[in-house]
Structure 1
Amino acid sequence: MICQNCGLILDSSALDFSKDWRAFDSDEYIERAHAGAPITPLRPSFGLDTDIVLTKGASKKSVNQLKRAQKHAADSKEKTIEPALRKIRDAADSLTLPQETIEDAATLYRMAARAGLVKGRSMDAMVAAVIYAACRRTDVPKTLEEISKFFALEEKEVGRSFRFLFRKLRIRIPPPKPENFVYLIASKLSLPEEAATQAIRIIKIAKRNGATMGREPVGVAAAAVYMACQELGIHRTQRELAQAANVTEVTVRNRYKELLARARADWLEEIGEEKLNELRKRVSEHLKTSQAVQPVK
């Protein structure tokens, strides 16, 4: 970049992001463009299909033959997994899954197909299994029950497919974390930020004290949110927590008793009375404000 007045070089490494070619219709645009769609395991051939175009000196017949050969080769490799990839994309919209999660699910399904693990098995069960595995691997709070219900399958069937994949593919799938379910539960009940923050703090203490071992993570999360509500002066029943977490009241009650015995005292000591009173005051003001802005029915 040079100044037109004095000739001073202002920038010697400026990048020009404009096209270095022109196109007069859509076909020419596609033919001349250097860049294409992003690579993604969610699309057939990873979204890298190649268009064979008629060039100078090539006969139309030979080009058509090449196109047919290319299509046959691509179809033979991808035709078995395209329906599954479509189901993964559809599930992503309904279950509100992030891009990272659905791409991981698609990658896992491709791995399973390549290893010959999907043949003779229910496609829906295998798709549900890879989605659940991907949720676990990317810390997305979805339960096996929730995913099974979406596909109208028995939880046991999806669980069997999940364990089969886990064993055969030898992939690392971390156990679900109770903390990942806290904000999901809190948002369903329109709880203030303080309740979720303290629930996570309670869970960390409970983990340290061994109170979460062998317990269903979502049940622990529900009980921790309930305890935080109790201590911060937020009126929520165990039934409400159970419904928000999609667990039974008995589960919430039992996990809450365990947290009372093995986490509450340490949490109160860690947070301190002064900080707790400050949080209670802040929550009280938040609740008053939220009630004041509610529309009159």
Structure 2
Amino acid sequence: MASTSRGPGRPKPLAAMVTCSYHPEATLIEDHHAGDMICSECGLVVGDRVVDVGSEWRTFSNDKDTKDASRVGAAENSLLSGGDLSTMIGPSTGPASFDADGKPVYRNRRTLNSSDRALLAAFREISQMADRLNLPHMIVDRANTLFKQVQDTKSLKGRSNDAIASACMYIACRQEGVPRTFKEICAVSKISKKEIGRVFKLILKTLETNVDLITTGDFMSRFCSNLGLSNKIQRCATYIAKKGVDLDLVSGRSPISIAAAAIYMASQASNDKKDQKEIGDIAGVAEGTIRQSYKLLYPRRADLFPDDFVFAVRPENLPTN
């Protein structure tokens, strides 16, 4: 395949250095196969053995119908024992070992041990869960590292890899400051909430690590955003939840149920009211759970709202449940 040296995208220094002695102004044609620079006027070869600095996209397999001309594999994965680069190249056996021209066909065969295969399957599961939850890649990296550490300890052999992967995803979210609930992890995995909780505790004990306690503020912004509530209501709900915890009104209640109850109270005092079912569907909390937390906050409702909140419904007129 030949091309002119002065075409678009071609560097000009080579053409400036090599010119035809008979036609100095003539355009030079580059023959990529022969590595020659040829004068377009008289056909004189004015330069040979020119190195093509372009990418070499070819395959090292003799298959003629191959579509992947890349000669590199995936990026190296340091979590795999073989670096994810262990490849054995050798001739095929049987009738398929020769092509139509009688030439031997060489195929690339990757060699992975059972441990690395289990790791790759878990990494794929973690990546799929992160995609469904719309989580950044740093969460995936943290969860992958946690799974590798758990596998190296060999202390959770009786548990399925999917359960361990789900628990690692839950821990990674909390360690990176973007916690998700057990129900949210359960919704994107094939494991029950109870099993994820059990494996979560086992991993913390095995790795001798801990996670920060979750608070109502960890979920408030996401819940209010999904409910379509304004920043004013979100700030009010955050204040109500924090005040309720400070006054020890909701002791023993989970931060998620407290946040849901605070959102319900703030929305009922505004013009943008949300019922307990709407909030429960977003927060993953039963209506009864929200109602119980709300009843604990209700007696001190007048003290829970911020001073600058503009009421559409006064605290004394809020619903009792």
TM-score by length of 2: 0.62
Q: Relative CO higher for 1 or 2, CA cutoff 8 Å, sep ≥ 6?
A: 1
Q: How many residues align?
A: 233
Q: Counterpart in 1 of 2:185?
A: 147
For 1:77 and 1:247, the matched residues in 2 are separated by 38
Q: Per-residue displacement from partner, 1:10-66 (whole Å, max 9, x unpaired)?
A: xxxxxxxxxxx9444247xx99xxxx95x877x7469774899xxxxxxxxxxx9xx
Bigger share in strand: 2
- Say yes or no: does 1:220 pair with 2:253: no
Q: CA deviation at 1:165?
A: 0.6
Q: Report 1:30-179 matches (<5 A).
A: 44=80, 49=85, 75=113, 78-179=116-217
Specify whether residues 44 and 194 from structure 1 end up closer, same or farther in structure 2 by C-alpha distance, changes over 3 A only. Answer: farther
Q: Counterpart in 1 of 2:239?
A: 201
Structure 2 alignment gaps of length 5 or more: 1-51, 59-69, 89-105, 313-321
Which protein is bigger by CA-based radius of gyration?
Answer: 2
Q: Is the 8 A contact 2:260 2:283 kept in 1?
A: yes
Partner-residue secondary structure (3-state), 2:118: coil
- Say yes or no: does 1:236 pair with 2:274: yes
Q: Counterpart in 2 of 1:187?
A: 225
Q: Is the 8 A contact 2:130 2:136 kept in 1?
A: yes
Q: Counterpart in 1 of 2:35?
A: none
- Say yes or no: does 1:25 pair with 2:62: no
Q: CA deviation at 1:117?
A: 2.9
The residue type paired with residue 105 of structure 1 is A
Partner-residue secondary structure (3-state), 1:175: coil
Q: Per-residue displacement from partner, 1:219-264 (whole Å, max 9, x unpaired)?
A: 11111111111223322222222222121111111111222345x4
Bigger share in helix: 1
For 2:203 and 2:249, the matched residues in 1 are separated by 30
Q: Counterpart in 1 of 2:309?
A: 276
The residue type paired with residue 139 of structure 1 is G
The residue type paired with residue 199 of structure 1 is A
Q: Is the 8 A contact 1:128 1:151 kept in 2?
A: yes
Q: Is the 8 A contact 1:133 1:162 kept in 2?
A: yes
Q: Counterpart in 2 of 1:267?
A: 304
For 2:53 and 2:156, the matched residues in 1 are separated by 46
Partner-residue secondary structure (3-state), 1:191: coil
Q: Is the 8 A contact 1:139 1:176 kept in 2?
A: no
Q: How large is the Cα RMSD of the aligned pairs?
A: 3.3
Q: CA deviation at 1:92?
A: 0.9
The residue type paired with residue 267 of structure 1 is L
For 1:44 and 1:98, the matched residues in 2 are separated by 22
Specify whether residues 260 and 91 from structure 1 end up closer, same or farther in structure 2 by C-alpha distance, changes over 3 A only. Answer: same
Q: CA deviation at 1:83?
A: 0.8
Q: Per-residue displacement from partner, 1:153-208 (whole Å, max 9, x unpaired)?
A: 22211111111111111112122222122122212221111111221122222222
Q: Is the 8 A contact 2:183 2:284 kept in 1?
A: no
Structure 1 alignment gaps of length 5 or more: 1-20, 53-63, 281-297
Partner-residue secondary structure (3-state), 1:80: helix
TM-score by length of 1: 0.67
Specify whether residues 261 and 47 from structure 1 end up closer, same or farther in structure 2 by C-alpha distance, changes over 3 A only. Answer: farther
Q: Per-residue displacement from partner, 1:103-161 (whole Å, max 9, x unpaired)?
A: 11111101101111343321111111111111222232421122123223222111111
The residue type paired with residue 274 of structure 2 is R
For 2:274 and 2:177, the matched residues in 1 are separated by 27
For 1:156 and 1:191, the matched residues in 2 are separated by 31
For 1:77 and 1:254, the matched residues in 2 are separated by 47
Q: Is the 8 A contact 2:80 2:116 kept in 1?
A: yes
The residue type paired with residue 293 of structure 2 is R
Specify whether residues 213 and 23 from structure 1 end up closer, same or farther in structure 2 by C-alpha distance, changes over 3 A only. Answer: farther
Q: Percent identity?
A: 30
